[in-house]
Amino acid sequence: MNIKVDNLTVCYGQAALFANVRFDVQTGQKICIAGQSGSGKSTLLKALMGLVVPTQGDITIGAESLTEKSVWHLRSKIAYVAQEPDLGEGPVIDRIRRPFGYHANAHLEWDRRAVSDYCCQFRLDEKMLDKDISDLSGGEKQRIAITIALLLRRPILLLDEPFSALDKEIKAIVKKELISDLSRTILFVSHESTLLEIADDTIDLNFTTGAGQ
């Protein structure tokens, strides 16, 4: 699914975090969002999900403009993985299964075997699925968040430093899985060379930064 951003500006108070950002991402492209600390990389991802309302500019996802009316529909096309995923509380397996009860995912079937497959692939002990989320390490939380995103089979992935707590071997394994679907559009924030290798292009916010935070 393609994404077009035109003249996007986000301000905090009177200061522009970034201004007049323009880019056009084609279906299946893998794009790195770069910039110094405070340039608004994470904020840009949140704007694409409708979690941050821009001061000006337009976002189009597929053929549909992101508006108050379309935001919930368009958000169902996107899976997001944060650097420190907030997975809530309770058993891990319940958290993985929860999105399959949402109306937006009614077209998907719960596939417990697929969960087992990802556990094996991402070097996660299946016994961990019965643990409480609070008992997981940072790296385990990232792999669970990525697993949920992949199980939802959404055409757009937004990734914010998703490899920060993973070792070299796991990074390579997860990278391979992320790029296995050629139609999957990915925008990511990362300084990890393993992930940077997949980038078709880079959006550099250094040139659009006003005053960051």
* Cα 50 → chain centroid: 13
Structure tokens at 33: 């969002």
- Return the SS3 of 45: helix
- DSSP per residue, 73-85: HHHTTEEEE-SS-
pTM of the model: 0.92
Report which of 77, 83, 85, 79 is spatially closest to residue 145, judged by C-alpha positions: 85
Structure tokens at 21: 């950002």
Percentage helix, strand, coil, to 5, in the chain?
Answer: 35, 25, 40
> For 3-208, which CATH superfamily applies?
P-loop containing nucleotide triphosphate hydrolases (3.40.50.300)
Domain boundaries, the chain: 3-208
Is residue 18 left, alpha or beta, with left meaning phi > 0 and alpha meaning psi from -120 to 50? Answer: beta
The per-residue pLDDT string of the chain (213 residues; one tens digit each, 9 = 90 and over) reads 999 999 999 998 888 899 999 999 999 999 999 999 889 999 999 999 999 999 999 999 999 999 999 999 999 999 999 989 999 999 999 999 999 999 989 999 999 999 999 999 999 999 999 999 999 999 999 999 999 999 999 999 999 999 999 999 999 999 999 999 999 999 999 988 988 999 999 999 986 544 333
